[in-house]
Amino acid sequence: MTELLGASGQLAALYLLVGAASLLAASGVPGLLLDRRSLWGERLATLLTVIAGVAGLVGAFALLAATGSATLELPSPFPEQRTVLGGDALSGWFAVPVFLVGALGSIYSGAYWSARRHPRNGRRLRLCYGLLLASLIFILLARDGASFLMAWEVMALTNFFLVTIEENDLAVRRAGWVYLLYSHVTILGLFAFFVLQHRLSGELGFQRIPLQATSTAGAVLFLLALMAFGIKAGVMPLHSWLPSAHASAPSHVSAVMSGVVIKMGIYGLVRTTGLFGDLPLAWGVTVLALGAVGAFFGVVFALGQHDLKRLLAYHSIENIGIILLGLGLAMVGRSLGRPDWVLLGMAGCLLHVWNHALFKSLLFFGAGSVVHSTGSRDLEQLGGLARRMPATAMFFLIGAIAICGLPPFNGFVSELLVYLGLARAAVAPGAAWAALAAPVLAATGALAVACFVKVVGVVFLGTPRSAAATAAHESPLPMLVPMAVLATGCALLGVAPGLVAPALERAAAVWAGAPLAGQSLAELAPLGWVSAGALALVALAGVLLAVVLPVCRRGRVRQPALPTWDCGFAASSPRLQYTASSFAELITSRFAWALRPHERLPGIDRVFPASASFDSHVEDTVLDRILAPRVERARQVAARIRAYQQGDLQKYVLYIVGAIVALLLFNFRLGGLVTELYGR
Amino acid sequence: MAPLPVLLPLAMAVVVFFTPSKRWRPRLLAATAVAHFALTVSALASPALAGSGEWLRLDAPGRLLLAVISLLFLCCAIYSVGYLRYRVERANRRFCACLLVVLGTTSLVAFSQHLGLLWVGMEATTLATAPLIYFNRTPRSIEATWKYLVISSVGIALALFGSFFMAYAALHGGGAASLLFPDLLSGAANLSRPWLRAGFTLLLVGYGTKMGLVPMHTWKPDAYGEAPGVVGAILAGAVTSCAFLALARLSQITAAAGEGDYANRLLVMIGLASMGVAGALLLGQRDLKRMLAYSSVEQMGILALATGLGGGATFATLLHLVNNALGKGALFLAVGNVHRAFGGKTTGEVRGALRRLPVSGTLFLLSFFAVTGSPPFGLFVSEMLILKSIFAAERWLVGGLFLVFLFVVFAGMGATSLAALQGRPPASARASNYRDGFATAAPAILLLGLVLLFGLHLPDVVRALIGDAAAALEVGR
Amino acid sequence: MSSLLSSLVAGLLLINLVALGTSRIGTVVRAVALQGVVLGILAVAAHGEVSNRVVALAVASILLKGWLIPVILFRALRQVAIKREVEPSLGLLPSLLLGALATVLAVAASSRLPLAETRLAPLLVPASFATVAAGFILITTRRKAISQVLGFLLLENGIFIFGLLLVEAMPFLVEVGVLLDLFVGIFVLSIIIHHINREFASQDTRRLSLLKE
Amino acid sequence: METLAHVAALLLFSPLLLGVIQRTKAIAAGRRGASVWQPYFDLGKLTRKEVALSQTTTWIFVVAPAIVVATAVLAGLLVPLGSFATPISFAGDFVFFTYLFALGRFFTAAAALDTGSPFEGMGAAREVGFAWLTEPAVFFAFLALCRLSGSLRLSQMLRATEGGLWLEHTAPLLLTAAGLFIVLLTECSRIPVDDPNTHLELTMIHEVMVLDHSGPLLALVEYGAALKLFILEAMLLHVMAPTAEVGGWPGFALFLFGLSGIAVGIGIVESVMARLRLLHVPTLLIAAILSCGFAFLLLNR
C-alpha cells in the first residue's frame, strides 16, 4: 500500500476532525439564544453543520489516505489514566458517512422540521442533532475506555431525546423508553467490557489484548462486546428497540440513526474483534450465523410491515445482517489463515456500511418526503404518488434498487464481495460450510426485491388509496437536493467501486493488525468488470429505450388513454388494488410461525354476509412474545418484595431484631467465636 | 473546646430560634451557612484551625466529610430561602433552627475522634431532623416522623451498645478501654475478637439504620416522602455520609484487628441486599420522593459493598460518597420544585414536568441520569472504579449482581421519572404560583454542575482531599 | 457486697418481667422509673471506690429516669387519657414467657462470651442482654405508641447496665451526652405522641400505616 | 467471430425454442399445430401494432420491458454456448448473472403494479413470491459447480464436466440438473408451475402481469421471455451433458440442437403434466433447493 500522507498530515487530519466535531456540537447552541420561531437559528445550525461536514469529510478522507494512526493525549477524570484520541483509516472510513449524512440531514430538516412549523421542539431537536453527530465522531476517535463510554452515552442520550421529540404521543414515549432500556444494557455491557479488558490487559482502552482469546476471560469479553454492540447495531435477536425507535423519530433523524448511528455498533465490533491477537473459529462462525439469521428474518419481518418507516427499519436489521456476514467471513478467514477471505469479507463489510448509509438515508429521506406531503406512514393509505411527486419517486426507486443489491447501483458491489469470499470458502477444502451463507443471502436478496417492489408499487404506483394521497404534492428543494446527492453517491459507487479500493484495503489492514501480505482487492474482486457490466447494462437499456420511447411518443399511442384493462370486471376501484399486506401474504403466510401476525378475521355466518373488514399487523415477536412476559414476571416478583414494606412499625423493628440475630448467628456459624473460646 | 464549625451553627440556632421576624430567619440561616463554608474552607486550608483536641480533631476523612456537609448545606440554605418564600403559611422557626442544629451536629460527627462522641453527634442529628420531617404537619408527616424517630432511636441505641462492646473488647484485650479511633487502631491487634465481632455487627446494624441499609431502611421512604425536598437532600447527602464514615472507620479498625474478612463479608452481603431490594421496590414505584428514598438505599448499598471489598476501592468509595451527596442533593431539590409546581408527587398527579418547569424538569432529568451512573457524570467514574476493584478482587458473581442491580434500578427510576417528565400536564394538576427562581434553581444547578465536572475532570484539590482521606482509611488494613 | 449486687441485678430482671407482664401502662411507667433508680444505685454499688464522677452520674440518671421522664410520660398519659394496653399483638402471658426465655438465653450467651473480670461482668452482662431483649419485646408486641416508648426506655436501660462495666472508658462528657440525648429523645417522642393523639384520635399504632408500598 | 456467433445465436435462435415447445405440445395433443417459426411472426406483428397506455401508468411501465430485454441480453453474454469462449467472463460473474434477472423481475413486477389492476398485482405478488425460492436453488447449483470446477467464472463452472469429470460426479450433476430444470420451468412460467396459454387470469402468474402491455412493448416482453428460456436452457444443457467434449463449430451446432432437444422435453412435460395448485408450487421449489443443496453436500464428502 502506498503512503499518501505523512504522520504530521495525519495528526492535522485528526485535529481537523476534532474541530469539525466541536463545530457540530456547537451547531445547535446559537439557536438557543434566538427566538424559538426565528429561522436564523436553524439556518445558522445548518450552515455550521455543513461547514463542519465539509471540513470533516476532508479530514476523514485524509485519514483514509494514510496507513498507521495518529494519537493525541488529554487529562482524564480517572486516576492514572489519560484520555487518548486517535485517528486511523478505520475511524476515517466510519467518519465519512457521519459527516455526509449529517450535513445532508441538516439541510433536509430545514424544510422538513422548520422552526415555523415546529417552534416548540425545533431548538431542542437541532441542539441534540448536533451533539449526536459530534458524539459519533468522538466515539470513532476515542482510544481509551473512559472517553469512549462518555461519547457513547452522550450519543445514546441525545438519540433518546431525538426519538422522543414528539413526546405527546404515547407510542413515541413507549418507543423511547424501550430504546433507553436497551441502550442502558449496552452501556452496562460496555462498562463491564472495558473493566474486564483493563483487568486482562492493564490498559483501559483499545489496546491489543495480550492473552490468547481462547481463554474463558477472552470469550466473556467477546460475548460482552457482541451483546453490547449487537444491541446498538440491531443484530437479531437484540434488535427489538430498533423498529419503533426509527419509526418514531423525525425522518431525517431516522436517516441518521439508521444510516450512521447503528453503524457505531458495527464499528465497535470491528474494533474489538480487531483487538484480539488470535480469533477462535467459533467466534467467526457465531457472527456468520447471526448475520445469516438477521439478514433473512430482518427482511421477512419487513415484508410483514405496512408502516413505511417500520418497514425500512427492519431492512436496516437485514443490512446489518449482511454486514455481519462480511465481518464473520473475515473472522473465519483470520482463524483459518486465509488473508483473501479476510480482505474480501472486511471489504464487503465496510463497503456495505457506506452503501447502507447512502441508500438507507436516501430511502428515509424519501419516506419523510412522503410523510411530509401526505401526513401518513401507512402504506395502505398511499398510492399513485409517482405522478404527484415524480422527483421523490425517482430517488426512492433508485434507493430501492440499490438496497436490493441490484446492479448498476452500489448495493450490488458489496454483496458481490461477500459472495466472492463465500464462494472461495466453497472452493477451499474443509471450509465449505461457510459457503452455506450464500444461498441464504440469495434468498434474502430475492425477498428484498419482493419487499421493495411492494413498497414502490403500493406507495408510488397505481392509483391513490386515500384523499391525502390524492392531494399529495412534490416536496421543496431542500428536501430533494439531499436525496439527489445520495442517489448520485449510490450510482457512483455502483459504477466505479474501484475508487475506494485502496481505502478499503487500508481499513481492512487496520483491522487485521498488519497489511495483508500480497492481497489486493483489484486482484481478488473484478471491480473493473463490475464497472464495465454496469455501464453495459445502462447502455443497452438506453439503446432499447431510444428505440421504444419514440414509438410510445409518436402517434402510435392509442388516444384517448383509457383506464387499465379490468379483465371484464366492471366497477373497478382503487380500493380493489392489491394492498401491501395482500401482496406480501404469499410469503408472510409461510413465516406465520415467526411473525405471529395479529389478525382479525370476519366470520361468514349467513348466506349474504354483511360488509366485513379484515386486518392483520405484525408486532415485533421478540419484544412482545418473548421479553414482555418475562418482564411481567419480574414485576410480580418485585411486588412480592413490596409486601414487606407494609407500613407496620412493629414489623419494621422486628426486621432490625431479625437482622441482628441473623448476623450474630452468621458470626457463630463462622465458628470464629468457638475457636476463640476453646483456642485460649 | 469544641471548634467553631460546630459551635457557630449551634449558637446561631439559638439566635434564629429567638428571632421574631419570619423573613429574617431564612436569611440568617443562609448567612450562617456561608460563614460555615468559609470556616470549613479555612479549616481545610490551614491544619491549625482543624482543632487539636484529642477527641475533636479534623483528620483527613473528617476534612472530606466536613467539606461535603458544608457545601451541601450552603446550597440547601440558599434553596430554603427561596423555598420558604413559597411556604409563608408555615411557621419556619423550628425549621430554620433545627437545620442549623443538624449542621452543627453533623460537623461534630466530622470532628469527633471518639466513638462515643460520634454517637452523641449522630443521635443529636437524629433528634434534630425529626421536627424537619414534621414540617408539613399532616397526619402522613406525623406518621413518618414517628416511624423515623422510633426506628432510628432503636438503631442508634444498638450503635451505642456496639460502641460499648468495642470498649469492652479493648478492656478485655487488657489495654486501656479507650474509644479514641487512633488508640483503637493502634491497639487493634489485641482487641478481644468475639466482642469485636459482636460490636461491629451491632454498629453495622445501628449506623446501617441511619444509612438506610436493608433491612433497616424501612423508615427511609416514609421520611423522605413526607419531608420537604431540602430536608431529604440533607438526610440523603449529609446524614447518611456521616453514618457511612463511622462505618468506614469501624471496618478499618476491624480489619486492623484481623477480622477484616468477617466484616467485609457482612458489608458485601448487606450492600448487595440493599441494592437488590431497592431495585425491586423501585420497579413500578409511583411516588417520586419514595423513589428518591429507594435510590438512596441503593447508593448506600453500593457504598457498603465497596467498603466490603477490603480497602481496594477506598478512593472510589469516597469519590462515590461525594458524588452521591452532591447528585442526590441536586435530584432532591429539583424534585422538590416539581412537587411544589404540581402540588403532588405521584405519577398520577405529575406529568409533563418538562413542559411546565423547563429548568427544574431538565435538572430532574439530568440528575436522574447522573444518579443512575450514566457517563459523563461523576457517579459513572466512581461506579466504574468500584466495578474495577470488584473484578480486580475476582468477585465475578458480585460484579455480575452489581451490574444487574444497577440496571434494575435504572429501569425502575427511569419509568417513574419519565412518566412524570414527559407528556402533557394533566388537566387535574392544579395551577400553582411556583415558578423557577434563582434561589430554587441555582443550588441544584451548582450541585449538578459539580457532579458533571467530577465526571469530566477531577480537580487536583478534590483529588488530593479524597486521596488523603482514602490513605488515612487504608492505614492498618 | 456481691450479695447486694446480685440482689440488685435480680431486681432489674424482675422489673423487666413486671413491665412485660402487666397491661396497665401506668404500672409499666412506674416499673421503668424504678429500674432507673435501681440502676443509679447499682452504678454506685458496682464500683468499690466511690468517686464524685460516679456519684454525679448516678444522681443524674436517678433524677432523669426516676423522676423527670416519668413525669413527662405521665403527662402524656393524662393527655391521651388511656389506662391500659388492650389487645397487644402478642398476649401478656406469651410475652412474659418470651421475656423469661430471653433472660435464660442471655445468661447462656454471656456464659460463652469471654469476660474480662469475674466480679461484675457475670452479673451485669446477662442482665443487660435480658433487659435489651425485654425492651425489644415491649416495642414489638405493644400497640400503644407510649408502650413503645417505654420499650425503648428498657432498651436504653439495658445498654446503660452494660455501660457500667466500662465507666472509665466512657468520658464524662459522653455519659452526660448520652443522658441528654435520652432526655431530649423522650421529650420529642412525647410531643409526637401528643400530635398522634390529636391527628389520629387514637394511640393505636395500627392506625399509623398510611405510608406503605 | 465466436463472439459474433454467440450473440447471433442468442438474439436470433431464442424465439425458435418457444416455437419448438408449442409444436411439440401440438403434436403430442394430436394436432398439426403452428410452425416452429410462429413466435417470429408474432413478434413482428406486435412491433407493427399501436401502443395502448392506461391512464394510471407512469414511465416505469414503459421502461420496464426495455430493461427486461437489456438484462436478459447481458446475462446471455455470460453463459457459454458450446465450447466457444464467452464474450464476458469474470470471477463472480454468476452473481451478476442472477442479479440481472432479479433486476428484470423487479421492473416487470413494478410495471404490473403500475397499472393499478388487482389482477396484475396478484401476478406480481406470485412472481416475487416464488423467486425467493428459486434463487437459493440456483446458488446451491452454482456453489456445487464452483466446488466442482474450482473456479468462480461461469464459463469455467459450466464446463466443469469436461475431461471425464462427468462420469465421476454423475450423481451430484444429475441432482443439480434436476433442480435447475424445476427452476427453469418456474422462471419461464411453464407447466406445472404456470400455464402460459390459460385464459383464466386468476390462475396466471407471468401472463397476468403483462396483461396491459401491448404492441412493441408486449413484443419486448415476449422476446425477453424467449431470451430467458434460451439462457436457462443453455445452463441446464451444460450441466446435463459434457458439452465441452465436442469443440469448434460442430460442437456449437450440436449445442443449439441440444437446446431444441430440451425444448422438446419441456413440451412433452407440458403435455403430460397438469398444472399444480398454486399452494403446492413452493413445495416443488423447496425440492429444487434440496436437490441442488444435496449436490453441493455430496461434493463436499
The predicted-structure confidence for D74-131, as pLDDT tens digits, reads as follows 999 999 988 888 889 999 999 999 999 999 999 999 999 998 888 888 889 998 999 9
What digits encode the pLDDT tens for the residues A306-350? 899 999 999 999 999 999 999 999 999 988 888 889 999 999 999
How far is residue B12's CA from residue B18's CA, in Å, rounded to a whole number? 10
Q: Do chains D and B touch (3 or more CB pairs under 8 A)?
A: no
**Alpha carbon of residue C24 to chain centroid:** 16
How far is residue A585's CA from residue D262's CA, in Å, rounded to a whole number? 34
How far is residue A517's CA from residue B109's CA, in Å, rounded to a whole number? 69
Q: Does A663 touch chain B (CB under 8 A)?
A: yes
Residue of A419, A474, A303, A364 lying closest to A104 (CA atoms): A364
Domain membership of residue A83 (yes or no) is no
What digits encode the pLDDT tens for the residues C101-139? 999 988 888 887 888 777 778 888 999 999 999 999 999
pLDDT in tens, chain B (477 residues): 468 888 899 999 999 999 888 888 999 999 999 999 999 998 888 766 556 677 888 889 999 999 999 999 999 999 999 898 888 888 888 899 999 999 999 999 999 998 888 999 999 999 999 999 988 888 899 999 999 999 999 999 999 999 999 888 888 877 777 788 888 888 888 888 888 989 999 999 999 999 999 899 999 999 999 999 999 999 999 999 999 999 999 999 999 988 888 888 899 999 999 999 999 999 888 999 999 999 999 999 999 999 998 767 899 999 999 999 999 999 999 999 999 888 888 888 888 888 888 889 999 999 999 999 888 899 998 999 999 899 888 888 999 999 999 999 999 999 999 999 988 888 776 677 778 888 889 999 999 999 999 988 888 899 999 999 999 988 877
Spell out the residues 6+ positions from residue D41 whose beta carbon is closer than 8 angstroms to its own: none
Domain membership of residue A424 (yes or no) is yes
Q: How far is CA B362 from each of CA B80, B228, B331, B418, rounded to the nearest angstrom?
A: 20, 20, 11, 11
Average pLDDT, chain A: 87
Residue B52: predicted pLDDT: 62
What digits encode the pLDDT tens for the residues C193-204? 888 888 887 777
Which amino acid is located at A653 in the chain?
V
What digits encode the pLDDT tens for the residues A249-288? 999 999 999 999 999 999 999 999 888 878 888 999 999 9
Q: Using CB atoms within 10 Å of the CB of residue C36, give its burial: 0 to 12 exposed, 13 to 18 middle, 19+ buried.
A: buried
List chain A residues with CB under 8 Å of C139: 650, 653
How far is residue C205's CA from residue C197's CA, in Å, rounded to a whole number? 10
Q: Using CB atoms within 10 Å of the CB of residue C212, give its burial: 0 to 12 exposed, 13 to 18 middle, 19+ buried.
A: middle
Chain C interface, best mutation among B10, B138, B168, by max C CB count within 10 A: B168
DSSP A647: S
Stronger pLDDT, A428 or B98, i.e. the higher one: B98
Cβ of B139 within 8 Å of Cβ of C166? The answer is no
Q: D164, D125 in Cβ contact below 8 A?
A: no
Q: Min CA distance, A182 vs chain C (Å)?
A: 28
- Neighbours of C, requiring at least 3 CB pairs below 8 Å, are A, B
Q: A333, A273 in Cβ contact below 8 A?
A: no
Cβ of B123 within 8 Å of Cβ of C210? The answer is no
Domain membership of residue A520 (yes or no) is no
Q: How far apart are the first and last CA of chain B?
A: 32
- Neighbours of B, requiring at least 3 CB pairs below 8 Å, are A, C
Longest Cα separation, chain B:
72
Q: Does A596 touch chain B (CB under 8 A)?
A: no
Q: 0.95 cut: is pTM over it?
A: no
- Cell digits for D259? 437446446
For chain B, positions 163-202, list CB contacts with chain C under 8 A.
164-165, 167-168, 170-172, 176-179, 192, 194-195, 198
Number of domains in chain B: 1
Per the listing, cell 471425464 goes with D164
Dihedral through CA C7, CA C11, CA C13, CA C14, nearest 10? Answer: 130
Percent of chain A with pLDDT over 70: 94
Quickly state the pLDDT bin for D136 (edges 50, 70, 90).
very high
Q: What is the DSSP track for B98-117?
A: HHHHHHHHHHHHHHB-BHHH
Q: Quick one: A535 and A653 in the same domain?
A: no
Q: Does C155 touch chain B (CB under 8 A)?
A: yes
Partner-chain residue, chosen from D99, D110, D152, that has the shortest CB–CB distance to A420: D152
pLDDT in tens, chain C (213 residues): 578 888 999 999 999 999 998 888 889 999 999 999 998 888 888 776 778 888 888 898 899 999 999 999 998 888 877 777 777 778 888 899 999 999 998 888 888 788 877 777 888 899 999 999 999 999 998 888 888 899 999 999 999 999 888 877 677 778 888 888 888 888 888 888 888 888 887 777 777 888 787
Q: Using CB atoms within 10 Å of the CB of residue B238, give its burial: 0 to 12 exposed, 13 to 18 middle, 19+ buried.
A: buried
Count CA within 13 A, CB hemisphere, residue B127: 23
- Cell digits for C96? 412474659
Domain membership of residue A122 (yes or no) is no
What digits encode the pLDDT tens for the residues D19-74? 999 999 999 999 988 899 999 999 999 988 888 888 888 899 999 999 999 999 99
List chain B residues with CB under 8 Å of A198: 388
Question: What range does the domain containing B25 cover?
Answer: 4-474
For chain A, positions 173-232, list CB contacts with chain B under 8 A.
173, 176-177, 180-181, 184-185, 187-188, 191-192, 194-196, 198-199
List chain B residues with CB under 8 Å of C195: 134, 142
Which amino acid is located at C4 in the chain?
L
Is the preceding omega at residue B5 within 30 degrees of 0, hence cis? no
Q: How many residues are there in chain B?
A: 477
Partner-chain residue, chosen from D71, D125, D136, that has the shortest CB–CB distance to A578: D125
Residue of B254, B21, A679, A456 lying closest to D63 (CA atoms): A456
Q: At what angle do helices B358-371 and B314-342 cross, to 10 degrees?
A: 150
Partner-chain residue, chosen from A78, A192, A641, that has the shortest CB–CB distance to B381: A78
DSSP, collapsed to helix, strand or coil, labels residue A355 as: helix
Q: Quick one: A320 and A468 in the same domain?
A: yes
- Neighbours of A, requiring at least 3 CB pairs below 8 Å, are B, C, D
Q: Quick one: A308 and A443 in the same domain?
A: yes
Which amino acid is located at D226 in the chain?
A
Chain A interface, best mutation among C101, C105, C111, C140, by max A CB count within 10 A: C140
Partner-chain residue, chosen from A150, A164, A656, that has the shortest CB–CB distance to B205: A656
Spell out the residues 6+ positions from residue D238 whose beta carbon is closer than 8 angstroms to its own: D79, D80, D158, D159, D161
How far is residue C197's CA from residue C180's CA, in Å, rounded to a whole number? 26
Domain membership of residue A457 (yes or no) is yes
Partner-chain residue, chosen from A647, A657, A676, that has the shortest CB–CB distance to C212: A647
How far is residue A217's CA from residue B148's CA, in Å, rounded to a whole number? 47
Q: Quick one: A293 and A431 in the same domain?
A: yes
- Cell digits for A273? 474483534
**Alpha carbon of residue A287 to chain centroid:** 17
How far is residue C66's CA from residue A633's CA, in Å, rounded to a whole number? 56
Q: C102, C130 in Cβ contact below 8 A?
A: yes
Q: Does B119 touch chain C (CB under 8 A)?
A: yes
How far is residue A23's CA from residue A579's CA, in Å, rounded to a whole number? 46
A-chain residue closest to C137, CA distance: A654
Domain membership of residue A90 (yes or no) is no
Q: How many residues are there in chain A?
A: 680
Q: B92, B26 in Cβ contact below 8 A?
A: yes
List chain B residues with CB under 8 Å of C165: 164, 168, 171
Quickly state the pLDDT bin for A554 (edges 50, 70, 90).
low
**Alpha carbon of residue D67 to chain centroid:** 16
How far is residue B218's CA from residue D256's CA, in Å, rounded to a whole number? 91
C-chain residue closest to B176, CA distance: C169
- With residues binned 3-state (H G I as helix, E B as strand, rest as coil), the percentages for chain B, rounded to 5, are 80, 0, 20
How far is residue C40's CA from residue C35's CA, in Å, rounded to a whole number? 9
Residue of B88, B82, B87 lying closest to B438 (CA atoms): B82
Stronger pLDDT, A109 or A550, i.e. the higher one: A109
Number of domains in chain A: 2
Q: What is the 3-state secondary structure (H, E, C) of A543-603?
A: HHHHHHHHHHHCCCECCCCECCCCCCCCCCCHHHCCCHHHHHHHHHHHHHHHHCCEEECCC
Cβ of C188 within 8 Å of Cβ of B131? The answer is yes
DSSP, collapsed to helix, strand or coil, labels residue A615 as: strand
Helix boundaries (H) for D241-280: 248-272
Partner-chain residue, chosen from C139, C148, C211, that has the shortest CB–CB distance to A647: C211
Supply angle C-alpha D239, D244, D247, rounded to 5.
Answer: 155
List chain C residues with CB under 8 Å of A645: 212-213
C-chain residue closest to A679, CA distance: C114
Q: Quick one: A488 and A637 in the same domain?
A: no
Question: What range does the domain containing A465 cover?
Answer: 281-513+531-541+577-598+617-623
How far is residue A418's CA from residue D92's CA, in Å, rounded to a whole number? 10
Q: A378, D70 in Cβ contact below 8 A?
A: no
Quickly state the pLDDT bin for A1 (edges 50, 70, 90).
very low
Cβ of B164 within 8 Å of Cβ of C188? The answer is no
List chain A residues with CB under 8 Å of B280: 637-638, 641-642
Q: B134, C132 in Cβ contact below 8 A?
A: no
What mean pLDDT comes out for the span A635-651?
A: 86
**Alpha carbon of residue A188 to chain centroid:** 21
Q: Quick one: A535 and A647 in the same domain?
A: no
Per the listing, cell 440482689 goes with C7
Cβ of A544 within 8 Å of Cβ of D70? The answer is yes
Chain C interface, best mutation among B108, B134, B142, by max C CB count within 10 A: B142
Chain B interface, best mutation among A81, A653, A669, A678, by max B CB count within 10 A: A653
Residue of A355, A346, A452, A353 lying closest to A410 (CA atoms): A355
Reading phi first (left if > 0) and then psi (alpha if -120 to 50, else beta), residue A518 is in: left
Q: How far is CA B235 from each of CA A374, B142, B228, C184, rounded to the nearest angstrom?
A: 56, 17, 11, 20
